[in-house]
Amino acid sequence: MNQKFPKASYETLKFMSRAISLARRGLGRTSPNPMVGAVVVKDGKIVGEGFHRAPGEPHAEVDAIRAAGTQTEGAELFVTLEPCNHYGRTPPCTQAIMAAGIKKVYYGIDDPNPSVIGGGADFLRKSGIEVVGQLLENRCRALNEVYLTNVTLKRPHVYLKLAMSLDGRIATRTGQSQWITSDQSRMKVHRLRDKVCAIMVGIETILADNPFLTTRLKGRAGRDPIRIVADSNLRTPPDANIFNQTSPSGVIIATRNNPPSRLKARLEKKGARIIQTANSDRVDLKDLLTTLHKMGITSLLIEGGAGLAWGALEARIVDRCVFFYAPIIIGGKSAPSGISGTGINRLDEAPRLVEMKSFKIGPDILVEGRVVYPGEPNDLTDKPH
């Protein structure tokens, strides 16, 4: 069993907080690896810092040790994730830690990867290095929620994003939806698109709005996610904007297990990859996520429509909600809401948001939080990782 830090000092928390800040510099660029930050401390002062930048690049521990140079002998290392003890694209970090003469290692969370779990911390202890974990555990888990979902649930981490009026409408009764939220909120969405592997909408969104689903940041910065359409009957038009030849990202059409062959061939001719899921009458979202995971897709942003949003919640695949509210009231019985479907019968059946945060973005309010389903623990540390 890993040693727990009994009572963290202010200085110790400060150093681990710095490691967390460094780890965030790799946001959206380390997939399928976790985001990791590290600092080397000697005589109470940071002498080296590092973070993992991309797959194949040095791990955070090695980056920090190199930055510390000759000052590593007898130093302490603070790292957000248990050091690895296996050969992957790079050698084990445990070897670098031992070679550097580090005397004590503090880490944030265990690595739940089956090929890693328990190995790094135990190996260092057996080698005579003092190891203390888990420090600032909840913050370190939140930092790597995408990675933890990938290695424990074998599927992408799923964000559900909606842009709504204060009364939860995503369009007027006549169907007008552009634009409910502000330019500032839309830029926030594009920054989120830049950080995920894939973005998904339902076929009704394609037919009603014909979106490009690209990342449009200032200076043409950012990456386009893979575009996915949930389309049971392959109604996606071949001239839809998602078939954007200026974007290097591909298009996936997720459908049922027996779609019309003629329509399948037509969309494949446009370059789309057709993924047939297990269900015979609709897209099986759980089956789809299993396939996406095998393809190396680690994160997925669902942007609509209302039926897909409910289907994802009903299937319990949404991990985090990101809801933008504009300061307007649309009203109208026929105006579509952000989430439709059959809904719940009892309040105790409702998915709930925990660890909620709210931000003002221009005139809008962003509300986000981790989704907890009935029967699941609220505390992140109680989840089976």
| Residue matched to tokens 């190996």 | 123
b/e burial code for range 337-365 (CB count within 10 A of at least 16 → b): bbbeeeeeeeeeeeeeeeeeeeeebbebb
Residues 6+ apart with CB under 8 A from 190: 215, 216, 217, 222
Task: Give me 92's structure tokens.
Answer: 């084990």
Among the listed residues 11, 49, 57, 61, the single catalytic one is: 61
Spatial distance between the Cα atoms of 197 and 296, rounded to a whole number of angstroms: 9
| Residue matched to tokens 């479907």 | 341
Helices (H), the chain: 10-23, 60-68, 93-100, 119-126, 137-143, 145-153, 183-195, 203-209, 261-269, 285-294, 306-314
- Does the active-site annotation cover 355? no
Strands 45-51 and 198-202: unpaired
Helix H or strand E segment including 55: none
Do residues 320 and 145 make contact, with C-beta atoms less than 8 angstroms apart?
yes
Spatial distance between the Cα atoms of 28 and 53, rounded to a whole number of angstroms: 10
Do residues 329 and 165 make contact, with C-beta atoms less than 8 angstroms apart?
yes
Task: State whether the Cα torsion 263-265-266-271 is positive or negative.
Answer: positive
Spatial distance between the Cα atoms of 206 and 37, rounded to a whole number of angstroms: 40
Identify whether 120 is preceded by a cis peptide bond (ω within 30 of 0): no
Q: Name which of 318, 329, 325, 24 is nearest 188 in CA terms.
A: 325
Radius of gyration of the chain (CA): 23
The catalytic site residues sit at: 61
